[in-house]
Chains A and B, each alone.
Chain A
Amino acid sequence: MNLFHFILQNHEQVLELTLEHLWLVGVSTLLAVLIGIPLGIVSARWPAWNRPVLGAANIIQTIPSLALFGFLLPVPWLGDRADRLAILALTLYALLPVIRNTYTGIRGVDPAVVEAGRGMGLTDSQLLLQVELPLSMSVILSGVRVAVVVSVGLATIAAAIGAGGLGEFIFRGLAMVNNQLILAGAIPAAILALSADFGLGWIERRLQPR
């Protein structure tokens, strides 16, 4: 039977693994946004923090993902549940694009606008919330888009440590030397990544300041 029939026949499993995959990506991206955007704001506002924050995020990104999974496995609370570990690792990898783009976005706001805002008597937080963040939204979202696409890819590797998701099809297929199984995991994963890229890119363009 061809791939299409295979997926149709096993559609429940495909759906379940896809949902697992989305959950891994969704939670980790949300956490990366909740942590990364404030960190980006801090490093933009107080340049002294710029080097340590971006530097740390950079170092994390350099560690090969499978190695990071391996490092975290023996850690007590984390290693007990593979999905916890995977979400932590995915969050860490998603941090750099979010932090860096938040920093760039805020720094990239027209200095005249910032000066006018300051001169008018906007407080730092008003300036941030009403002017700088709205004007950086497009750039920040671009960082989130990169984070999501990277996460979809990394989540397939997370199956190697038992976190589930579409990667499980791929690994099982490899062990059984079964191409259909491999593709049943690889193709939905690729579609997920492409849709996320396309969808978020569309929103990004709508948000660009004129």
Chain B
Amino acid sequence: MEQHATESTVIEFRDVAYTLPNHQRLLSGLNLQVKRGETLVLLGRSGSGKTTTLKLINRLLIPSAGDVLVNGSSTSKTDVIQLRRSIGYVIQEVGLFPHFTVEKNIGLVPRIEGWPADRIRGRVEELLQMVGFESKLGSRYPHELSGGQRQRVGVARALAADPAILLMDEPFGALDALTRDQLQREFLALQQRLNKTVVFVTHDLREALRLGSRIALMETGRLITVLPPEDFLRSTDPLASAYAQALAEASVPAANRGTS
């Protein structure tokens, strides 16, 4: 995993550890680089430290040891508000502001950044189109939308100020299988178009294989291995192959299980 940081390294973890006040270790000895334009998936079980890793990037959590660098500068030395405004953040519960319309939700960061009103309007229109929303839905409130629609708005909101980096924490986890599949496809199309640097957290191997350009496998706070999807299924690493096995078994119809 020791790669040399190059100019195309957007996010870098150097020996990062995160410990809770009660001395519980959530993360130890993390060394990781995220390259420009790639979709790095953080894969692991609950408690593996993947969400913690994500939150260290936009400094929602502060590392107990080591250094997190974004675009070459340590996050401890940059203004945290500016840092967060330059990174899009999408979470599983979406967290849309219930008292704002879809348009106001999406346009919030541009508004507080002081963009002129018509530029904001234009950008909101553009984003609604990008996530496949009819523009008339822009004046709806979050409670009037379905789960899938809400998450689309969440993604649009995260992209509003055109950040170069996107952090996504199990964004499709709360949706039904069909909607999830649809949104995954839309995500891939969006990535093709926009080419953002994405760090994507999931516990679902299939999602990881589908969306990621590289998969970083994590377990109990440690980075186990980082592999591109095609190499993942063939990996000899015990944890990786356990995952692959589980995936294979899950794909077999129930009647056939136990015969091979």
Interface residues of A (CB under 8 A from B): 110, 112-123, 126, 130-131, 134-135, 209-210
Number of interface residues of B (CB under 8 A): 28
B56 lies within 8 A of chain A by Cβ = no
A115 touches which of B91, B109, B157 (Cβ 8 Å): B91
Indicate whether A116 sits within 8 Å of B84 (C-beta atoms), given known contacts A121-B109, A134-B99, A210-B143: no
Instruction: Check if B108 sits within 8 Å of A120, measured CB to CB.
Output: yes
**Which 7 A-B residue pairings sit nearest by Cβ, starting from the closest?**
A116-B95, A119-B89, A121-B84, A121-B85, A112-B93, A112-B95, A210-B143
Within 8 A of A (CB), among B78-100: 81-87, 89, 91, 93-99
Q: Whole-angstrom distance from the CB of A141 to the nearest CB of chain B? A: 14
Instruction: Check if B94 sits within 8 Å of A120, measured CB to CB.
Output: no
Instruction: Check if A120 sits within 8 Å of B93, measured CB to CB.
Output: no
Interface residues of B (CB under 8 A from A): 58, 60, 81-87, 89, 91, 93-99, 108-109, 112, 141-143, 154, 157-158, 167
Complex alpha-carbon distance, A206 and B188, angstroms: 42
Indicate whether A122 sits within 8 Å of B98 (C-beta atoms), given known contacts A116-B91, A210-B143: no
B84 touches which of A110, A118, A134, A135 (Cβ 8 Å): A118
Q: Whole-angstrom distance from the CB of A46 to the nearest CB of chain B? A: 17
A135 touches which of B98, B112, B143 (Cβ 8 Å): B98
Which chain A residues lie closer than 8 Å to B83 at the CB level? 121
Complex alpha-carbon distance, A54 and B86, angstroms: 39
B104 closest partner in A (C-beta)? A130
A110 closest partner in B (C-beta)? B95
Indicate whether A120 sits within 8 Å of B99 (C-beta atoms), given known contacts A112-B94, A115-B60, A210-B143: no
Which chain A residues lie closer than 8 Å to B91 at the CB level? 112, 115-116, 119
Instruction: Check if A119 sits within 8 Å of B143, measured CB to CB.
Output: no
Complex alpha-carbon distance, A112 and B90, angstroms: 10
Instruction: Check if A113 sits within 8 Å of B97, measured CB to CB.
Output: yes
Indicate whether A115 sits within 8 Å of B95 (C-beta atoms), given known contacts A120-B84, A120-B157, A121-B84: yes
B94 touches which of A116, A121, A123, A134 (Cβ 8 Å): A116
